[in-house]
Amino acid sequence: MSTRTSLAPSTPVRLLAPLAVALALAACGNPAPPDDEETMDPQPGDVLEVVPSLARLEVINNAAASQTFTVELVKPSGNRFDVSSRVRWTLGDPLIGSFAGSVFTARGGSAGVSLASAQLETLTGTASIEVFVKGVRVGPGAPPNAPDLFVAGTLDPAQSPEIAYPPDQAIVPRNLGDLEVHWRDAFSHDLFEISMLNDHVDLKVYVGGTGATGWSAFQTAEWYAASMGGREITVNVRATRVASPATFGAATPRVLKLTNNDLEGGLYYWAATAAGGAPYGIFRHDFGNPGSPAEPVYTTTEAGRCVACHALSRDGERMTVVWDGGDGSSTMLDVSTRTPMIPVGQQYWNFATYSPDGSRLVTSRQGTLTVRDGATGLPMGPAVPAGGFSTHPDFSPLGNLLAFTRTASTAGNPDWYFQGGQIMTIPYDPVAGTWGTPTPIITGNGNNYYPSISPDGRWVMFNRSTEDAYDDNSAELWVARIDGTDARKLDLANVQAGMTNSWPRWAPFRSTWGPPGQEEELYWITWSTKRDYGVRLVGVRRPQLWMSPFFPGRAAAATDPTAPAFRLPFQDILSNNHIAQWTEVVVPIGRIKVTGGKAEAGSGEVQRP
């Protein structure tokens, strides 16, 4: 009996003891931890949480501000694991700052609210980053303590300067690039504070000055911070005297409204003259490079002669030009190499337009519209059956229609000098390459010319004057539906009579303006005008390029579809600028093109057919 009693329980006791301990621990709420690698890998039901969920940073006078984020992998059980070192960060606005690991740093390149996203495999966690930018810059002629002089003073409404530029309530693209502020002052102030303010930006520049007028420019970085900081920018000018700063005057503020997105594409224009013997000819600006000056493309330096009228293919690959003025020899350029594709003296035309796919080119000379090969510029078929002396062709971006100007009088008329112009359209079949019957859509009420069809194909913009279509002081901008109905003058864009508002053209892309849920569709329009520019061009009558939005919805509702116009800031203020032609793509000059296995001269970018 004793032997049986002592040996029987020995084996069961050794097997059950560990199980009993485990059950006891489980009863106390402390489960054994699973394998570490398995725990920290995302599993179905896991979420990624970013702490803090909202970070507010203030960049003052370009002093960077930083915030460290923690990213946690949260299990359905509630367990949390720090995975900050394993996530990849992206920002809704890359200019607002950057991440180094999980440390975000804002440097003032942009302002406002941006979404920061942390990604771990298929999981994403987000946080909002709100950046405020404040800055004080003491510019030329201002004493170092200029900001303090305004703090100590009191406002005197009887000493208010007046803002001469920008216009109040202008609507501008966010990537305008820079901004000049002009003012008039009748109170002998010698210190001026110019500011841009909105929900997230407070930027001030101080400059000295004497006399009745003055101006100053914000830098590109300052503009971009302000343009991203809200839906509007309020521009202020205050003025005082350094020797007696007890009082100051303040101008009535001007408000600029900002579009929801950037302006895309490139603009090529003709600078007819330049000061000091500088090159003149065709220049361009890439709206993808805000703040950059206009780039010479084909000027007296490259061509060795005058270059004037021009047109661009939609892809930016080819440009037609006319040498030595009206009725001069014409050619087509490979934009990337600036190589003429037609020798001097072989082809002649004045105005030109490419079909949307670039396969056809329609040119005008002495009242005839000629169809040409879009790749070579050589004639390839009968003239467009326009039914009379015709010029100023413009292809619809939809490729189904050509607009042009026709005049009944042909005696001695060149393409640019006539009266009684009508706006015509003619259908085009791009597959068959055939033309329909021309139809007059705008007739009478003066001289109608320079038609331009909107990117959506629904509107035609044109000039109307009481003169001869050449540099007309009475030229004004008009618009109508593509069938000629609902024609109306663009009063806000024209400003007033006598401005030589000529060569209206559409930017190629659609944009929007307005808060979420209330966005309005808009297209940008440009033209050449001899209006005053703030205090820098007053009574000079020098043509410059200006821009305004065009709202199709407002046009359809029979209200003015434009807004107060603004001057494009990249152009030389000393040159006479005309014929702003648009392209969707700005082709780099000097790139390498590979065609048929043979490389052409360039500087590095390789393109294959």
List of residues 6+ apart from 146 with CB closer than 8 A: 138, 191, 193, 206
Same domain, yes or no: 205 and 318: no
| Same domain membership, residue 522 and residue 426 | yes
Structure tokens at 70: 């923690």
User: Which residue matches tokens 């780039």?
Assistant: 295
**Each residue's pLDDT tens digit, 248-287:** 999 999 999 999 999 999 999 999 877 677 889 999 999 9
Separation in Å, CA 587 to CA 102, 281, 395:
38, 18, 21
Q: What single letter denotes the amino acid at residue 394?
A: D
Q: Which amino acid does the sequence have at 607?
A: Q
247 lies in the same domain as 271: no
**101 and 156 assigned to the same domain:** no
- Position 80 scores a pLDDT of 94
Angstrom distance (rounded) from CA 195 to CA 525: 28
DSSP code, position 16:
H
Note the pLDDT tens digit of each residue in 95-134. 899 999 999 999 998 999 999 999 999 999 999 999 999 9
Q: Is residue 521 part of a domain?
A: yes
CATH number assigned to the domain comprising residue 410 = 2.120.10.30
DSSP assigned state of 537: B
Among 236, 258, 280, the domain boundary falls at: 258
Whether 406 and 362 share a structural domain? yes
Predicted confidence at residue 304, as pLDDT, reads 86
| 474 found inside a domain | yes
Is 79 within the bounds of a domain? Answer: yes
Q: Please answer whether residues 510 and 173 qualify as being in contact, where contact means their C-beta atoms are separated by less than 8 angstroms.
A: no
Determine the pLDDT at residue 308.
85
Confidence check: pLDDT of 533 > 80: yes
Same domain, yes or no: 108 and 221: no
Which of 228, 258, 288 is the last residue in one of the domains?
A: 258
Task: Please check whether residue 604 lies inside any domain of the structure.
Answer: no
Domain that holds residue 193: 139-258
Assess if residue 90 is contained within a domain: yes
- Give a yes or no: residue 2 inside a domain: no
**536 and 450 part of one domain:** yes
Please tell me the predicted confidence (pLDDT) of residue 411: 66
Asked if pLDDT for residue 18 goes beyond 60, the answer is no
Q: Where are any strands of DSSP class E within 265-306?
A: 266-271, 281-286, 295-299
Residue 414: per-residue pLDDT: 85
- Check which CATH number belongs to the domain holding 151 and give it: 2.60.40.10
What's the predicted TM-score (pTM) here? 0.88
pLDDT, tens digit (0-9, with 9 covering 90-100), for 290-347: 999 999 999 999 888 889 899 999 999 999 999 888 888 999 999 999 999 998 889 9
Whether 30 shows a pLDDT value over 70: the answer reads no
Whether residues 163 and 311 share a domain: the answer is no
- Give the residue from 258, 292, 309 where a domain finishes: 258
Q: How many domains does the chain have?
A: 3
Rounding to the nearest 10 degrees, give the CA dihedral for residues 37, 41, 46, 49.
100
For residues 80 and 160, state if they share a domain.
no
The answer on 370 and 392 residing in a single domain is yes
Cβ burial of 434 (10 Å; 0-12, 13-18, 19+) is: exposed
Co-location of 485 and 510 in the same domain = yes
Looking at 139-153, 165-179, 273-287, 306-320, which range is the least confident one? 273-287
Token pair for 443: 């007739």
The answer to whether 436 and 424 have CB atoms below 8 angstroms apart is no
> Is there a single domain that holds both residue 108 and residue 205?
no
75 domain-assigned: yes
Residue 171 lies in a domain: yes
Give the tens place of pLDDT for each residue, 331-354: 999 999 999 999 888 999 999 999
Model pLDDT for residues 183-242, shown as the tens digit of each residue:
999 999 999 999 999 999 999 999 999 999 999 999 998 998 999 999 999 999 999 999
- Residue 573 main-chain phi, psi, to 5 deg: -70, -15
pLDDT the model gives residue 558: 84
Task: Give kind and range of the element (H or E) at residue 594.
Answer: strand 592-595
Beta carbons within 8 Å of 290's beta carbon, 6+ residues apart: 175, 176, 177, 178, 220, 223, 224
Nearest-CA neighbor of 173 among 506, 511, 505, 508? 511
